[in-house]
Structure formats: structure tokens, C-alpha cells
Structure 1
Amino acid sequence: MCGIVGYIGNKKASGILLNGLSALEYRGYDSAGIALLNDRIEVIKVKGKVADLVSACLSAGSELNGTIGIGHTRWATHGKPSKENAHPHATKDFAIVHNGIIENFKEIDDFLIKEGYKKSSTTDTETILLLVDYYSKTLSTFEALKKAVSVLKGSFAIALIHLNEEKIYATKKESPLLIGLKNDELFLASDLSAFLEHTKRFVVLEENDIAILEKNGTFEIYNDGNKVERLVKSVDWNLQTAQKGGYKHFMIKEISEEDEALANTIYAHMQSDKIELDIDEDLLKNVKKITIVACGTSYYAGLTSKYFFENLLSIPVIVEIASEFRYSKPIFSDNSIFIAISQSGETADTKESLNLAKELGIKTISIVNVQESTIARLSDYVLYTL
């Protein structure tokens, strides 16, 4: 899932943002970037790892002196992994980062095109940016952001900066966003791990909050046009505890987030209120047998899906452990499909099982977390989980 960081204070922001993004790497991502406020908005972003972004920032050198900035690690939903689609997105006056999925971005794009706007990416995030820019022609930045998010359908956490304002604007709906507090400095992040080395005091933004973070360490939060107060909290966590979100271990965290992960995965394939999969429709309509192969907890996910497929489709579903399947002589009938499940997309036994199915001429689908992983590349079709 995507990760957001932000900093406003009296220190050089670039290092703080990069360290924050490093702490969010565990969430998974395919690209990363930062935007800093100087005499212009300086954006540096890469397709690849935070380490690649660090190298790009080192090359930029003295240009990165701003004390206000936002950053992002992106896991592609709308738009392929690329430098152009990486966040932040920027105009001359604004820069934005976004976590979530905007369901009606194409309709908004159509409106913006009629108003003379042209996108440089294929993301829903740039749609938000241009919509804010459009409304800012007649409204303040705060009111423009408020107006823009009222139009959005879907989930979002947003951080926004303006060239001529020493502020960070932030808002959220169904995606987490926290403000870290430390004297005359403020931090912004998707979770505590991004700013835990600096402060353990924070505020959790609630649904439809819009926050304005000031350079003197003060902030205001509004909801439905009214100024509101949110409880200042504190934790006694280390980085690993924060990454686990307060859960005892990662396993229970993943179990608790199943509904969110499923919803995000489905939203990524929503087109005009319908689920659109980039898989041959005739293949799906004519399938007579499904073989699912995986290891570990992915295997148990396959066992669970077996009951859904068989009840809904009335066709046989075989679920096999990859370490056994790869050494077997599987029997596939006509119109069979093979589904490989792997969180990393690199599970060795699952990969070899996939190769075996391909050697036998069976169409393959993979369900993985990681873009451009080996299993994703080998498969005929791939569905990414979020």
C-alpha cells in the first residue's frame, strides 16, 4: 500500500522525508518521491526503491534546502509503475501526494479536459491535483481542497503544498493519516513508524478532517466547515512495534486488515461500477477446472477460495501445496486454468509449479503483492493485491 510523509519546521526536510519513507518500506511500493518548497517546488521521484531516490537527491545536492516538504511511496493502482506516475505530482503552484483509490477520476478527467487541462500521468492522484488547481482560481487553497474532495468518490489520504504558502494541507477519508507533534515542528505520515524517531506524540485525523499545518508548529483541523479538536495521543513504541500498528505480531495485523486489503484490491479494478479484470473473458467463461497452488498462508487463502469458486461456479477446484505440486505429474482437463498465489511473487516452489503448468500449455493467473516480480512476469495474467 502507498505511504505518505510530510515535514514542516526549521530543519532541512529532505533527510527527514527520506528516513520517513525508509521506515514505510515494509508497506510495499514500486516508486518513491519527494517535493520540497523553495523558491519553486522541487520534485524528485524515481521508479524503484527509496535507495534510488536517495541517490537522486544526493545528485541534486544544494537544491534540496527546503524546510517544508511531502513524500510518498507508491503501490500502483491507476497507472503502471513508472517515474511519470510516481508521486508527488506537481503544477507550478501545487504539489500533492495521495494514498487511496478515486473511483470517479475518469469523469473528473473529462471535465478537466474541457477546461483546458492536460495530464502528464495516468494516475487518479494527478486528477485531484488538477481539480484543486482549477478551484484555486477563484478560491483559497483551503477552500479549493475542500471543494475538490467533496467531488471525489472513493478513499484518500492527501497531503498538499502551495508554492507561496508555508503550510501543509492534509485531509483523509478511509485511509489513515497522522500528525506528529514536536515543539515547533510537525510531521505527517500514514503511520507512526515514519516519524517515531522524532516524536511519540501525535494526532489521528478522523473521517473528512482537513488539517492546516503551520511552520511555527501549530495546526488547525476542520470538519464540515467547523474547527475541531482531536485528542493528542502518545505511545511508548519502537519502530518495529509501530510498523505492526500496535498489534502483537504481523500475523494478527494482516488478519485484521483483510477486509481493507480485499476492498482496495477490488477498487483497483472498478470501472464505472463494474469489476474489470485484464483477463480474457472467453477464458473465464469457458473454464471447467481450476488448480490453485501456493505455500504457507497463501495456501490457506487458496483453500478458502475453493469453497467460493465451487459454490458460485459449480466446477472442481484443486488446491495444492507448491512444494508437492512441482514434483507431481498433474492432470489438466481442457479449459483448465492455473492460479499461483504468492505474496512476494518470488516463492521458489510456487514459481516452479507455475513453470510446470506453462510447460503443459495451461493458462496461468498469478495473485501477488509485488509489481514486476518473477511470478508476475511469468504468468499469462496477474492480479495485484493491495
Structure 2
Amino acid sequence: MRVPLAEDLAIADEPRTSEGLAADRALLDDIASWMRDERAYSIGAPVNLDIDYRHLAPFLAVHGNNAGSPCGTSEYRLHTKHFERAVVDFFAILAGAPSGAAFGYVTNGGTESNLFGAFVGRERHPDAVLYASSDVHYSVPKIARLLRMELATVPTDRHGAMDPRALESACRANRHRGAVVVATIGSTGRGAVDDLPAVHAALADAGVERTHLHADAAFGGPLAALGPSPRPWGFADGADSIAISGHKMLGCPVPCGIVLARPEHVDNIREQGAAVGADDDTIGGSRDALSPVLLWHELRRLGRQGMVDRVHECLRIAEYAAERLERRGRHPEHPAGTNTVLFDAPSQAMCERWHLFQVDGRAHLVTMPHVTEDHIDRLCAELGDPPTDG
């Protein structure tokens, strides 16, 4: 479809005529239809497009605002904090916390969740160094700047996970300072998972006593928790705060996330009654009240077993993709326990058509819930026969 030009979208001084409003609605319908059609080719971004929340449109006719803390209520009564708490409780239990034993709220995405985790860690240990792997999410260096924290970048091993011995070495030079460590549970590039027990051991071996471990599990949390071979990632594995995405494995039409933390640590940032009659213990002031309803609705529809089935199917499709790409001579790499498949990148035009991200000449395929065997078959058909020697 034709991308609207700036002059097509310009907002005039005078109100729009009825004919103009009809044209605008047609334009918006066309763009929405195009975006839905693109699901047939979107296999590179870690976003679940198998969603349809149009029956919840009545929530678009009211301003909902979850101002301040998710706990309790506020003076603004049009909120959905009761739904938000149900969503938080589901993910807290998934992350190994007993019911009601973790603080959490619905954020506007992974960056806010990571910022919250690092902020809580910095307030616990004001002199802390922020440690993260070289494959950490792009938000973390920005967060270090926002919080005025010294950032120490730790090399990764050949699988893309943080090297525990390199972390120990980096911490030894600052062993009398606090340490806030961001552990990546599912890197966006390769789906790599940092080893939480090894991170804890490295901190102990380096002699660092004041620590805060934030698990950035936005991408890989559900895979680590619900895959056939669960991996350490949550509170039971030593995490102090955790970021989980709402628009990835679960699915939401707007970016959102869930952040969790040990309640005693959140006391360090809480301002009593500061936000329209509610405590202020989140990053945002006014907060989105729609995402909690969408996430709650999908979780109620699926249940825990539905999430398990979804994760296992994504992993199965990833294995199928790796097998088919191998036959096409594309040298696929499928890290165990991930829904990420890297392979020799095709042409730029084909990468754009299939929404494939590229890193160092390798294309990045992610089998999210909307990706089926048909997607993989059509991709491989376009790739053609494997190259021949000579």
C-alpha cells in the first residue's frame, strides 16, 4: 500500500468536514487492513500477532488511568488495578514467588521494566556499578545514563551468555561497592540466557556483599519457565527484580510489560500518598489502564496450561524451521530451548518482505505464536534450492 505523505496527514486549523472524516476513516481502515495482512510475512520480530481484542472496544470509550501504585485504589476511580493485580500475581507465581509475595505492575514495555529494576537496585546501593553483558538489551546503557550509574560491560561466551568469570574479574576491581547486575534471559539477538546461579557465584567469589540482580526476562521468561527443560530465571533462582514482556509470547496490540520485585526492596522508592491518593512506587505517574485488561483477558482465556502449550508449539516450529533451512543450505543455528533461528541472510528485498532482522550477515527468525509451518514453507520456497559448489 502507499505510505501516506506528510501532507495527507497534516492537521488543519479548521475542523474536518464530513467528507474529510469519511476519507480519514477509509485511510485508517486501509492501514489497519494492511497491518493485519502483513502477519502473513512477519517472522523476524519477537512479537505475537495472533491476537484480536476488538470485542473489548468499549474500553476505548472511557479514560482509564491506573495512577500511582497498583496496590489499593486512588482518588481517580476509573481504573483497572484489580485486573492489574491479577496479572501480576500470575507472573509472580510463574517466577517462583508465593501468591501475594511479590510487588509488581504493568509497564509500557521492557525499557520501563528494566529502568524500574535498576532504579530499585540503585536506591538500595547508591554507590553501585551497573554490570551487564555485551549482548544486553539496548535500553540498559541508556538506563545507566539516566540513573547516572557507572556501566561495566561484561563479555559473553560463544553462546552469547554473560561470561561468569569475566563478571567476577570486573567485580573484583569494585568489590567494596554495590553491584546491580542485569542478567539477560533471552537476548534479542540469539535468545541467549545468562546463568543466574553462576552470576551469584561470581559475585560471591569476587567478594561483593551488596548486590541487586535484575533478570531481564522480557523475551525469554515464559520460555525459561514453561519450556520442556526449564531454566533458572526467577525469584527462586536469586532474582531481586524481573522484567517480562506483555506483547511478546502473550500478545497485546500495544507494547507493554510486567515488572516484579521483592516487596521489601520497593520500600526504598515508595512515596506515601503522592499520586492522587495512591502511593507513588512506579516509574510512571498516570498509567495505562487498558493493557492490564487485555493481558488479563488473554491469560484467563489460555490459563497456565494454554501458555505451556503455546511455548511448546513455538519451540516445535523453531525446530521445523531449522530443519527446513538446513535443507536449503542456509546453515541455520537454533540455540536449545529458544524460538530463535539464525541463518544465512537472503537478499535485502527478501529480508524486508519477511520482516527479517539482520546481524553480521545472518537473518533472525523468531517463531512467535502466529508463525506456522506454512510461514516457514513459503519462506523456504522463496529461498529456492541450496547453492551448488562450483
> Greater helix share, 1 or 2?
2
Fold shared per TM-score above 0.5: no
TM-score by structure 2 length?
Answer: 0.29
